[in-house]
Amino acid sequence: MKWLEFPPLGTIATMRRCLFLLLGLVGLACSGFESPRFLLLVTVDTLRADHLGAYGDARGLTPNLDALAEDSLVFRAAYTPASFTLPSVASIMTGRYPSALGLWGNESKIPDSTETLAKRLDEHGWNTAAVVSNWVLRESSGLSMGFDRFDDDMSDREATRGAPERLAPDTTDAAIAAADECAREGKSCFLWVHYQDPHGPYDPPDELRAAHLANERSREDGRRRLPVLSDHGGMGGIPRYQFLGGHADVGFYRAGYAGEVSFVDAEIGRLLATLDDQGLLSNAIVVFTADHGESLGEGDLWFAHGEHLSEAIVHVPLLIRSPGLEPGNRTGVVSLVDLYPTLLSLALGAEAREPTESQGPVRHHARDLMGSLPREEERGVFLATLGGSAIPRYAFVEGRYKLTLSEPNGSAEWDVRLLTRGDDELDLSEVHPELRTSMVQKVRQMQRATAGAERVWQELGTEDESKLRALGYATD
Ligand SMILES: [Zn+2]
């Protein structure tokens, strides 16, 4: 009989969605939780926390982000779990450490079966849209899963390297268009916008670089001239793809980076003002962060990020503004993996954040930052360079301390340093040998807990590989 036949797959998907909606309504009735109408997640590529006024920069590069910070919970010790783009962004979207998903490079792919923020919100009836302007985040990365609309249109080409990109003004325009569509039909909307501009080469409008040139060149090493490297690594010199117009002095590049930060801040300001004018932000969650920072000479790494786990690279800004959330500061150590349960909790209520069994134990390293957190000194976060560095590097940040491990070439002996968080210079290993030992054990535990997933790669054509190389990521 007809009604005994198994329903077609599309019908099952609809039934499943209806069930989720029904459960969501029951949950709403029981908990009194009311979903905000809008969740805006803004991520900026390659943005150091210490270049925001809200994190102590005195140059006034980021008036718009500083204004957002005034109304937000500001996380003072937020860390990315990885030193480069795709693994970091994937951890935000999945709540899982990148290696647990098999993500070791920018050419990796998030497995299809992975639960993501967009999938979860979509299941709960939200509209979902994304605008990304870094080519490694394009649809083939798997990040598009769960998004109704995924705009990875990058028709611009950077002059010095030919890599695809989209500049901040076009990113903002695309985001405004996406928001307009996403917020229709009376549904809640999740919009993710990723800006690319502070990523090298640092090529802001001339006046924005000029505003910082004299100051940067007057610094102690500002007039130092660096060799131009034959590769994109950045150890000891200027990465090939960063080299601009015959300039070799440190001040020129640092001024360019500061100019890019100003440039993107102004465009984020325009995005927020426009969405506000449209009434979209009156009952909205607004989250701002970066996928990683940038080394501007720290550890002799110049204008690059993947290679190290220095504070310049792994300490990222994190701001959360949400209805009913008291603005202020959080000083405890948090990781970008925490955003997945936190945003689900803010958007759908605390019940929604719970991991499902299929996610395995690693998910439990991600914490809902709106829930009751353990005491600061009990919380540690794990960091790795994965495939972004020539030698393996790991770190564990806990309380006031940071332990780094790296495996020097050709040596069985690992280089282990116990540092004060925020300072990569002074090795305290001899002062606190027991702490050093216990933190090494924690790194090893996290390596085991996050290992095991098969590495998953995108299928890249020759053209894709040359684009990745042009972006500064060697694939060979
Ligand atoms: Zn990045």
Domain membership of residue 13 (yes or no) is no
Task: Give 199 Cα–ligand 1 centroid separation in angstroms.
Answer: 7
List phi, psi (to 5°) of 212.
-115, -5
If you measure from the C-alpha of residue 25 to the centroid of ligand 1, how many angstroms do you get, rounded to a whole number?
Answer: 38
Q: Is residue 117 part of a domain?
A: yes
pLDDT for res 286: 98
- pLDDT attached to residue 10: 40
Predicted confidence band of residue 336 (pLDDT cuts 50, 70, 90)? very high
Assigned domain for 398 exists: no
pLDDT tens sequence across 345-394? 999 987 776 555 445 555 567 888 987 665 554 578 999 999 888 888 99
What is the rounded distance in angstroms from the CA atom of residue 192 to the CA atom of residue 143?
11
Q: State in Å: Cα 107 to ligand 1 middle.
A: 13
Residues 143-193 have pLDDT tens digits of 999 999 999 999 888 767 778 889 999 999 999 999 999 998 789 999 999
Confidence grade of residue 456 (pLDDT, cut at 50, 70, 90): confident
Q: Ligand 1 centroid to 158 CA: how many Å? A: 16
| The pLDDT of residue 28 | 45
Is the link from the previous residue into 201 a cis peptide, with omega within 30 of 0?
A: yes
Tell me the three state secondary structure of residue 134.
Answer: strand
* Coarse DSSP helix, strand, coil percentages of the chain, rounded to the nearest 5 percent: 40, 20, 40
Q: Give the distance (Å) from ligand 1 centre to CA of residue 316.
A: 12
C-alpha of residue 293 to centroid of ligand 1, in Å: 8
Domain boundaries, position 346: 34-376
What pLDDT does residue 155 have?
Answer: 85
pLDDT digits (tens, 9 = 90+) for 1-20: 333 333 343 444 444 444 44
DSSP letter for each residue of 186-209:
G--EEEEEEE-TTSSS----HHHH
- Tell me, yes or no, whether 397 lies in a domain: no
Cα of 195 from ligand 1 centre, angstroms: 10
Give residue 290 CA to ligand 1 midpoint distance, Å: 8
If you measure from the C-alpha of residue 289 to the centroid of ligand 1, how many angstroms do you get, rounded to a whole number?
Answer: 12
Beta-bridge partner residues of 149: 129
386 belongs to a structural domain:
no
CATH number at residue 98: 3.40.720.10
Please answer whether residues 114 and 362 qualify as being in contact, where contact means their C-beta atoms are separated by less than 8 angstroms. Answer: no
Q: Which residues 6+ apart lie within 8 Å of 116 measured at CB?
A: 93, 94, 110, 143, 145, 146
Chain segment 406-448, per-residue pLDDT in tens: 987 766 788 999 999 999 999 999 999 999 999 999 999 998 8
Which residues in 203-235 are b (16+ Cβ under 10 Å) and which e? bbeeebbebbbeebbeeeebeeebeebeebbbb
Q: Please give the pLDDT value at position 389.
A: 87
Burial class (CB in 10 A: 0-12, 13-18, 19+), 399: middle
The tally of domains found in the chain comes to 1
Question: What's the CA-to-centroid distance between 44 and ligand 1, angstroms?
Answer: 8
Phi, psi values for residue 218, rounded to 5° = -85, -10
**CA–centroid distance, residue 300 to ligand 1 (Å):** 20
How far, in Å, is the centroid of ligand 1 from the Cα of 192?
15
Lowest-confidence pick of 220-234, 323-337, 343-357: 343-357
The H-assigned helical ranges of 349-476 are 433-449, 462-470
pLDDT above 80 (res 229)? yes
Residue 225 belongs to some domain of the structure: yes
Strands (E) located in 63-110: 73-79
pTM of the full structure:
0.89
The mean per-residue pLDDT over the stretch 195-223 comes to: 97
User: Rounded CA gap, 186 and 329, in Å?
Assistant: 34
Q: Is residue 415 part of a domain?
A: no
Measured in Å, residue 6 CA sits from the centre of ligand 1 at 46
C-alpha 349 to ligand 1 mean position (Å): 30
Question: How many angstroms does the Cα of residue 83 sit away from the middle of ligand 1?
Answer: 8
Query: Does residue 137 lie within any of the structural domains?
Result: yes
Q: How far apart are CA 324 and CA 184, in angstroms?
A: 24
What residues have CB less than 8 Å from 26, skipping those under 6 apart?
none
CA of 86 to the centre of ligand 1 (A): 7
Encoded tokens for 265: 């801040």
